[in-house]
Amino acid sequence: RKRLINVKGKGGGNMMKKLILTILLFVLPISLIDAYPNEPSGYASMYWGESLNKVKARYNTSFLRYNQARTGALYMVTIPNAYGELGMLGRVNVICFFDNDRLSHITIPIFRKPEEIENTYRDSLRDLKSICGTPKYFANSAVWNGNITMMGLAKNEAGVAIELMDVRYLHKIMNE
């Protein structure tokens, strides 16, 4: 029985903004220093703080846009095979944010038809819980607070997204 999710599709900028907003509005009052099992330090051999050039050397990347301050940029990164990492299987397109040329945030969008979103969210939540333990729940999202990575799973009308954020970057944007 195949439980892992095969992802295809492009985009995800609006979904990423909505999940970041959800995390910032609902999670920040909660302690940021909770460890969870198997806490990642990035995704698919991309690690927090790694330079854009190192990621480009391993993966096909496409520039999407700069942030407003032009201190960071979003790139689409194609992972040829996720090998089941975080429940993902096969080719996965992720959106990576590089703050001052350093990897700080990864969005894994899972685009689905409206009738498939609920099942995809439930299956993704089950997979992530089996890897990382029980999250904190909010409306249409689940969040794992960690020492290294804040991870979220959210759903909206476009599909489901797994968000990974370097906790150091989260602290930086909170203090700006």
Pairing type for strands 149-156 and 42-43 reads unpaired
pLDDT tens profile 49-98: 999 999 999 999 999 999 888 889 999 999 999 998 998 999 999 999 99
List Cβ neighbours of 110 (8 Å cut-off, separation of 6 or more): 5, 7, 9, 120, 124, 159, 160, 161, 162
Max alpha carbon distance in the chain (Å)? 47
Q: Which two tokens stand for residue 121?
A: 């969210």
When pLDDT is cut at 50, 70 and 90, the band that residue 113 belongs to is very high
CA gap 137, 43 in Å, rounded: 23
**Residue 10 clears pLDDT 60, i.e. is over it:** no
CB 95 within 8 A of CB 107: yes
pLDDT tens profile 29-49: 444 456 788 899 999 999 999
Question: What pLDDT does 62 receive?
Answer: 98
Reduce the DSSP state of residue 155 to 3 states and report it: strand
Amino acid identity of 160?
V
Amino acid identity of 82?
A
CA gap 156, 90 in Å, rounded: 23
Q: Report the mean per-residue pLDDT for the chain.
A: 85
Question: What pLDDT does 4 receive?
Answer: 41
When pLDDT is cut at 50, 70 and 90, the band that residue 174 belongs to is confident
In degrees and rounded to multiples of 5, residue 113 shows phi and psi of -70, 150
Question: What pLDDT does 34 receive?
Answer: 65
CA gap 29, 51 in Å, rounded: 31
